[in-house]
A and B are shown apart, each in its own frame.
Chain A
Amino acid sequence: MATLFSMNKDGLTGSLVASTAFFSRDCLLMVSDNYSKEYYISIDAHEEEQVRVTLMKKDGEKFDERVLREFINELIDFQTRLMLQKEFGEIRKKIVEYAFSPVE
């Protein structure tokens, strides 16, 4: 199972379990960074090939479960970006190289 959402009983924190087979370390850190202004975030090892990401609002307000769903969507988008980056990285290098070469 790729993800699993859970809300803490006090309603202040929410957690999700993400598979590291799908989401890389860079992806998890970069998406967490997006949320770090409003949330305290911790990432802990869960079961094999899984991590648990826990978010808590900095202002102490109740946690909205939709944030977890958005978080997962952002993980998917970011992992796509990283995969695409690998795919077209060499092409990008060539574009820049060609662009700044002397005109023949």
Chain B
Amino acid sequence: MNQYTIFPFQFARLSQNDILMVNECGDFLFLPEDIFQLFVNHTLPETSEYFCKLKSHIFCADENIEIALQKTAARYRTRKSFLREFTSLHMMVITLRCNQHCEYCQVSCADRDAHKYDMSKETAIKVIDMIFQSPTQRPKIEFQGGEPTLNWDVVTASVLYAEKIALQQNKNVSFVICTNLTGITTSQLEFCKDHNIAISTSLDGERSIHDSCRKDKSGRGTYDAFMEKLETARKIVGEDMVGALMTTTAFSLNKLKDVVDEYVRLGMDGIFIRSLNPYGFAAEQSATLGYSMESFVEKYLEVLKYIIGLNARVFFPEQFATLLFSRILSPFATGFVDLQSPSGAGISGAIYDFDGSVFPADEARMLARMGDRHFCLGNAATSSYHDIFAGRKLKEMTSGACVETTFPCAFCVYQAFCGTDPVRNYLESGSEVRNMSHSPFCIKHKGILRGLFDILRKADDMTKDIIWSWITYNPSLVRRI
């Protein structure tokens, strides 16, 4: 028996003879089965090449454990450094009113004239005062709805007030407006340009796919109106300031390549292949819009290979894979509220409803709209910052939302790259902490991560260059045809 000390890691069999090992700081190695057995039984010769690899990736230490401990701890701290930026994403629901009625909307949009669902200027000011109490130096304020352009005065008042406070506090505030674009005006776009407000919009694919779900109040597709406004928005605000997100439904699941082609045709800077969330209308219409998570994973990996192939000609990242590849291949923290451990709900992002109610995530606000205010943390008008962000509710929720301490995540080889979502757990099981086995969340992330490791294992030089070009957002890393 050799005297080396084994450091914490998780493992899984990826194929007959290949074992994937991932340690506490996200370093990974593929090991042949026989070598793995020797290693865990403390019989791997310390002179072997594999031992050197294992030692250099801190899967073990021979003599000086303290140095290996310090190294691992430093890397662990780096991976968890998103915690230092405590609540940097703040979403304000400017109104619940909307000019569209999308089939999968998760926010239960209100009618165009239902002004009682508008955020008032007074509430907006109180929300912004609260946002600037967060310790982050770089608060990001995202205006959401409904359709936030329908309550434009409050958007402008919020931006002007936030800019003033940012100047006073020497903070770097940034803005995003989430809009379907179809009703946006030239003057609104000019305001966005003048105040550096990025536009996040929705495009599900080519006309037939987009129009299947994204409809106006009378049920007509919005593709033409969207295209017209997209062109105007790009001209006024700038192409790099207009991004789009897609949602995969049963209408597009088997046509994801067409969706990608549409994004490439329009010169989008990448795509985020998103699955449907089980909230709002999407939950009500799951029979027509939904699909199994297993089929999503299969189609996602299929289209991801197609996108990698496309990158031999054009720089076009898939953003979810980019995020996960960054976690796998780089030591740095990647902020993504939906997939963090501890969960990003409340501690990385928070949402302020039109009436000032504060929730840890948009899905928690959706639950409240469905009648369950379990996750409401307080109200920006009546509660203090401390009550909301250092209160018992958020502390309890966060302490339970760590994959490192939840079964079976604590034993999962993908633990270092994954996260948890207490709101979704609650919605699906009635409890914030649940056994994740067989949950759609686990099926999705485990399936995708397994697929990504398979890509990495088989990657040729071109594929590796493409992956690194995504991670570093550097198109010149790939020699294109």
Residue positions of A touching B, CB distance < 8 A: 30, 33-34, 36-37, 77-78, 80-81, 83-85, 87-88, 91-92, 94-100
Contact = CB atoms under 8 A, between A and B. Distances in A.
B80 interface: yes
Q: Please provide the 7 A-B residue pairs with the shortest distance between their CB atoms, ordered closest to farther.
A: A98-B73, A99-B76, A99-B77, A37-B438, A99-B73, A92-B8, A88-B8
Given A95-B73, A98-B69, A99-B80, A33 B435 contact: yes
A88 B6 contact: yes
Q: Is the interface of A mostly helix, strand, loop or mixed?
A: helix
B40 interface: yes
A84 B22 CA distance: 13
B411 A78 contact: yes
Interface centre among A87, A94, A95, A97 (most CB of B within 10 A): A95
Contact of B77 (A85, A88, A100): A100
B72 A95 contact: yes
A88 B69 CA distance: 12
Contacts of B10: 81
Contacts of B13: 77
Interface centre among B8, B408, B435 (most CB of A within 10 A): B8
B24 A92 contact: yes
B284 to A, nearest CB: 25
Contacts of A94: 69, 73
Interface in B426-465: 435, 437-438
A41 to B, nearest CB: 13
20 contacts: A30-B407, A33-B408, A34-B437, A81-B10, A83-B40, A84-B9, A84-B40, A88-B5, A91-B65, A91-B69, A92-B8, A94-B73, A95-B8, A95-B69, A95-B73, A95-B76, A98-B73, A99-B73, A99-B74, A99-B77
Contacts of B437: 33-34, 36-37
Interface of B: 5-11, 13, 24, 40, 65, 69-70, 72-74, 76-77, 80, 407-408, 411, 435, 437-438
A3 B76 CA distance: 40
A94 to B, nearest CB: 6
B66 to A, nearest CB: 9
A51 to B, nearest CB: 21
B347 to A, nearest CB: 14
Contacts of B73: 94-99
Given A33-B435, A77-B13, A92-B8, 14 more contacts: A30-B407, A33-B408, A34-B408, A37-B438, A80-B40, A81-B11, A81-B411, A84-B6, A84-B9, A91-B69, A94-B73, A95-B24, A95-B72, A95-B73
A77 B413 CA distance: 12
B435 to A, nearest CB: 7
Nearest to A26: B407
B8 A91 contact: yes
Contacts of A78: 411
A83 B70 CA distance: 24
A80 B438 CA distance: 22
